[in-house]
Structure 1
């Protein structure tokens, strides 16, 4: 069942146009929206919530046109990036605020408060004001307020961006658990690719106000639909080698690579294009059946379970992600090979072939 649907929605600003946007969020889905800063992610949430009205197109909630529904009637909760807690209220008062505004009975308020407190583990901080809470505690209270409202969907606008790295990891796990246990619809916005990919069922990649691709995290990572998506998905980012396709369409030629790359199945006959390879798909040393070339090592970043090798070839930077820890001398010449099973080809227009 469709919880939220945006159909050909366009929102115009003086120096920026969002859309047209087409996306569907299913009931009970954890839907992620990812993209660089200032690409329109928050505006999409505001269209869903009703804080913005599209100049063209429409928003549907459970199959109903939302144009005539006020924000309060849409049954959607939102957790803002700055959390927007009432500073003069305690944690308890912040959580039950939407219930009081709705005119809920004291029995219902008490029941919802007990449930939310147990799920979010906030019973010990309900008496505190936001100024007395840590960042993680304020985050939980903001989530509790959204949960207490029993909305059809929760919109989360970079809600954990202000937390430190360790706490962000903990909250990611917690958010996924809460969403699953309550079978609730979440729409989660972040400019942190790892964050969105780790917890979302599906992801929409937003670039320059448009949806560049929608798919599962695996689909978006393994089969980026364009150069633009490939550039923003992956850490370290994908390596790109610009060149041309042979006239018979069976080889890709690049000045950086020492030999032509054989293409399994003709994708494009002649013309320019780009070969993309993720850092983990470039291996140290020669491997049978895979194209090899040489690089000069610039630096090595040991990160425990894996090592990032920064190198140069043909005047461009090449990054490798090598399992475990390796010792390579800076400025040494190394032979590397490409995993033929994991190559990405893009045409002159930047679209995936």
Structure 2
């Protein structure tokens, strides 16, 4: 049985419609929701929690229609982006607040507090108020409050967005560890693709208020189902070339690329399309058996373990991600080749071919 199931859910706003949304989250799954800002990600969490009521469709919690359940009976905890800790309470009081609200015994409260404190390593800050804590410490207390409630699922709305880059990396690892050790169901929302892809078992990509694709991080990255998904997944983003398929359906021809791309496609004869190539799939130098052409180097960004090269083909700028440190002169001509095994083709309507 799924921990959460959403079927044909629609939520209408004055200037925006979310849905229809169809998705399911398995018990013990780390489910990520990713998309650009203002696409409805947080609204999905609020529909699950019960803070919003769908205009159409159904939300099920553990097989039951959520419309027939009180919010408190859904057994779901949520960690908000601003953490929403009570400023006048200590860390200990914040963590045990949901337990006291439901009338748990002192013995149960003490047991849950000890367990959560040990798992989250917060015993040394339980006496502090949130104002006396660092960002990472407040994050752990907020997670502790959610864990203490022993909920069916935890909803996390960009919970680490306010932390610095190094602390975000540490908290990503910590969240995954906690989820695995407790066999907890997590639904994690973020506009940071790297966060979601790094820790999720499956990812739902939301574009324009609709779920464009659901799959493992590998599936979503390597086989985007549409141009819309390909545009938002990947950093640096995928390079795109407009063109047409030849009458024989065996080549993709572009006014920009000075090379023919052999393709296996017989359904788009003479039709318009788009070729997508990820920056890491463009290699410096010519490669036998792979399409090759020349670009003019614009700028070079050395980033330690890899180098981002911005180059021009005509008026179009493309990005190349080369391993290691690469020394190239600006305005120099450079031969490059495409990894023919990892090209992405999309038809005029944006669907993957």
Instruction: Tell me if both proteins adopt one fold, taking TM over 0.5 as the criterion.
Output: yes
Output aligned runs, 1:192-231, within 5 Å. 192-231=192-231
- How far 1:303 moved relative to its partner? 0.7
Matched, 1:18 2:18: yes
Q: Is the 8 A contact 2:249 2:264 kept in 1?
A: no
Render the CA deviation track for 1:224-257: whole Å, top value 9, x for unaligned: 0111100100000000000000011100000111
Render the CA deviation track for 1:38-62: whole Å, top value 9, x for unaligned: 0000000000000000000010011
SS in 1 for 2:100: helix
Over the aligned positions, Cα root-mean-square deviation in angstroms equals 0.7
SS in 1 for 2:349: coil
Aligned residues: 353
- How far 1:125 moved relative to its partner? 0.2
Q: Is the 8 A contact 2:242 2:274 kept in 1?
A: yes
**Paired residue for 1:298?**
298
Residues of 2 paired with 1:301 and 1:325: CA distance? 9
- How far 1:264 moved relative to its partner? 3.3
Residues of 1 paired with 2:333 and 2:214: CA distance? 40
Q: Is the 8 A contact 1:257 1:292 kept in 2?
A: no
- How far 1:259 moved relative to its partner? 1.6
SS in 2 for 1:67: helix
Where in structure 1 are there 5+ consecutive unaligned residues?
none
Residues of 1 paired with 2:217 and 2:137: CA distance? 29
- How far 1:268 moved relative to its partner? 2.3
Output aligned runs, 1:279-298, within 5 Å. 279-298=279-298
Residues of 1 paired with 2:70 and 2:335: CA distance? 63
- How far 1:267 moved relative to its partner? 5.1
Greater shift, 260-269 or 36-45, is seen at: 260-269
**Paired residue for 2:330?**
330
Runs of 4+ in 1 over 6 A off after TM superposition: none
**Paired residue for 1:185?**
185
Output aligned runs, 1:12-161, within 5 Å. 12-161=12-161
Residues of 2 paired with 1:17 and 1:124: CA distance? 46
- How far 1:265 moved relative to its partner? 4.9
SS in 2 for 1:147: helix
- How far 1:293 moved relative to its partner? 1.1
**Paired residue for 1:341?**
341
**Paired residue for 2:251?**
251
